[in-house]
A and B are shown apart, each in its own frame.
Chain A
């Protein structure tokens, strides 16, 4: 047998070191005793003082119910930090993890960044179909692998300025996109090359008016049965892009709207354009109600579901859904204890209701949605109903997370600005790009 030269041995050893140095640990066997005294670490993304206080109150309730488990809470963790930490591994990493980005669930599940929850759910004998609304169950799993649970939800609907509606003689919020275009135009008051009041900011950079939020109001399918992008074949996409472009043009054109958009305050601050009266209607999540009230808005706020396509009027009431997802870090050595916290925060009715009341989010379980303890006023009820609507939807999870949505969104920018003129060719090219990106991620 020929002897391996020393240099070759060293090279082989170096390559072996390189290949093993960064490979994260995936410990799937949960052997810890959930009844033993232990401390687990929970990473979440909330950072506003009121939200941090609310989550701490929830943790306090959990610790009271589970005196053997202490929870160390770490806030302000976004997906980038979370993903990087989970890959780095190490003993100081989290046991329980959460993310605001439902569209990243496909990546979390397929890569193994979040542990498979199936054994825990089976052990706890939870029938999730009876506990959690279907869209929320959908966005917390990928290709049958459940690696997350929904921790409250966000439902998106229409906010409108009731005073502006009254002044313009509009009696009720629009239910179809045709009605919506008329109402938006009626509410728009130009002032020179700008606006005194804009009916609606339709541009894709208008905070929540992104492509997938618009698309939720059309019956659509992002992928065919083979997993290929169907945006070029499904007519709903062309209809949406055409409608939005017409809306942009009818409200003053892309350039004028962009210039006006640049006068808007921060989406998360008191100077949000809906709150300042710069726009009379806004597509937004349920949190806007609380934020608008905190900002001391002077006019009456109305809420309604977003309109639907004219030929799908019977589906009025649906909306876009997303929310926070919660899971277990695969490296955690305390997965049974971690599961106790996940189970408590996502399925315990009192916990879900208290947390939803505190941060003005939509509860993510049937019992909590119907709970008498849930603080529901007329404005908020709209969003509870949207969450319960079986036609409400969210984009499907993908192996490369939200990349396909940002690719489509990117085409949206091109089309609304007039840089891309051929819609059919643009959608085909975008679909090919989506397929290629997914292929690369496999």
Chain B
């Protein structure tokens, strides 16, 4: 009898726990587990949105890795952007944050000036950059030409398109600047005073006081930056489309990546395969590659984070 009561109590307890957890469980199942399981499932299927999915084995995987000509360029571009763009954005955001926290007057004005570009809609910002960097009519190349400097092709030159996208990303660095400013203002003043008394130079104060204190924020900026860059879609697509001159008029087809596949990113492939070619299976393969890459990068960075925190502590 007492065993039964205990069991009933445990069941009741379990139900109560489940009831409390249910909002999270539902959210997790609907927005994470279900999409992830179905992505894995569809990566082995032929499915175009109509009819019944057909099992295809590893054909979609083989197609993406060996026969889809856009996959490797897109992967290389994505890795380039992760390494270069994220690094520069974090460094630039931190640099601007440091500068603004140091200046005595006009802090509000500069903070607003540097933050405002972040609020510009990505499409409008990209269009403006394509216009400014137009090699034929853009003011940037006019100035460079007048100064006798080389005039790059920017978004029309495969060697310059990713640097141009990086410039666009640096222009909109206001989000990181604000986060870094908050972190920098949080560093205890006494630590700087103690370091100064010990004769530490500005570099040493930054290296041994500032950086350890803000390392969790740096890590946050890097991890979110990597994930955002893995999802980088709008800016390269718009830049490629507008710079190519083919904006999709009377039924024109546009293959992303202009010029010469240099602005292709993995999310563009997911859209191209999934929602233009309706090859859901191959699109799922690319999505899983993205997922795996994000996991690897995040796991690697989180491991490194332990070291940084220790240094800070």
Which A residues lie at the B interface, using CB under 8 A? 14-15, 18-19, 21-24, 26, 78-80, 83-84, 86-87, 99-104, 107, 111-113, 154, 205-207, 210, 258-264, 266-268, 285, 287, 322, 400-403, 405-407, 409-410, 413-414, 417, 419, 433, 436-437, 440-441
Q: Cβ of B136 and Cβ of A263 under 8 Å apart?
A: yes
Q: Which residue of B250, B258, B260 is within 8 Å of A287 (Cβ)?
A: B250
Q: Smallest CB–CB gap between B288 and chain A, Å? A: 15
Q: Cβ of B253 and Cβ of A402 under 8 Å apart?
A: yes
Q: Smallest CB–CB gap between A285 and chain B, Å? A: 7
- 18 extra interchain contacts, Cβ-Cβ under 8 A, other than A83-B275, A401-B277, A436-B67? A18-B38, A21-B38, A22-B47, A22-B49, A26-B51, A83-B49, A87-B49, A87-B50, A87-B278, A103-B253, A261-B245, A263-B136, A268-B247, A409-B255, A410-B69, A419-B260, A440-B67, A441-B279
List chain B residues, Cβ under 8 A from A107: 278
| Majority secondary structure, B binding face | loop
A63 to B224, CA, bound (A): 55
Q: Which residue of B41, B50, B253, B277 is within 8 Å of A15 (Cβ)?
A: B41
Over the window 121-140 of chain B, the binary record of Cβ atoms lying under 8 Å from chain A Cβ atoms (1 yes, 0 no) is: 00000000000001111000
> Which 3 A-B pairs give the minimum distances between C-beta atoms?
A262-B136, A87-B49, A100-B251
List chain A residues, Cβ under 8 A from B135: 259, 262
List chain A residues, Cβ under 8 A from B47: 22
Q: Which B60-119 residues have a C-beta within 8 angstroms of A?
A: 63, 67, 69
A410 to B257, CA, bound (A): 10
Q: Smallest CB–CB gap between A62 and chain B, Å? A: 24
Q: Which residue of A14, A102, A103, A405 is within 8 Å of B37 (Cβ)?
A: A14
List chain A residues, Cβ under 8 A from B312: none
Across chains A and B, the number of contacting residue pairs, with CB separation under 8 Å, is: 115
Q: Cβ of A78 and Cβ of B248 under 8 Å apart?
A: yes
| Majority secondary structure, A binding face | helix
List chain A residues, Cβ under 8 A from B147: none
Q: Cβ of A19 and Cβ of B251 under 8 Å apart?
A: no
List chain A residues, Cβ under 8 A from B51: 23-24, 26, 112
Q: Which residue of A26, A84, A87, A263 is within 8 Å of B137 (Cβ)?
A: A263
Q: Which residue of B lies closest to A102 (CB)?
A: B251
Which B residues lie at the A interface, using CB under 8 A? 34, 37-38, 41, 47-53, 59, 63, 67, 69, 134-137, 153, 156, 244-253, 255, 258, 260, 275-279, 282
Q: Which residue of A lies closest to B48 (CB)?
A: A111
Q: Smallest CB–CB gap between B243 and chain A, Å? A: 8
List chain B residues, Cβ under 8 A from A264: 136, 245
Q: Which residue of B lies closest to A287 (CB)?
A: B250
Known A-B contacts A99-B251, A101-B251; A23 and B50 likewise in contact (beta carbons under 8 Å): yes
Q: Which residue of B41, B49, B53, B258 is within 8 Å of A111 (Cβ)?
A: B49
A440 to B66, CA, bound (A): 12
Q: Which residue of B69, B251, B258 is within 8 Å of A103 (Cβ)?
A: B251
Q: Cβ of A322 and Cβ of B278 under 8 Å apart?
A: no
List chain A residues, Cβ under 8 A from B134: 262
- Find the residue from A23, A103, A260, A433 having the highest chain B CB count within 10 A: A23
Q: Which residue of B lies closest to A20 (CB)?
A: B52
Q: Cβ of A285 and Cβ of B250 under 8 Å apart?
A: yes
A46 to B52, CA, bound (A): 33
Known A-B contacts A258-B156, A409-B255; A19 and B249 likewise in contact (beta carbons under 8 Å): no
A-B contact pairs, 21 of them (CB 8 A): A18-B37, A24-B49, A24-B50, A80-B276, A83-B275, A86-B49, A87-B50, A111-B50, A258-B153, A260-B136, A262-B134, A262-B137, A267-B247, A268-B249, A405-B253, A419-B260, A433-B69, A440-B59, A440-B63, A440-B279, A440-B282
Known A-B contacts A18-B38, A433-B69; A267 and B137 likewise in contact (beta carbons under 8 Å): no
List chain B residues, Cβ under 8 A from A258: 153, 156
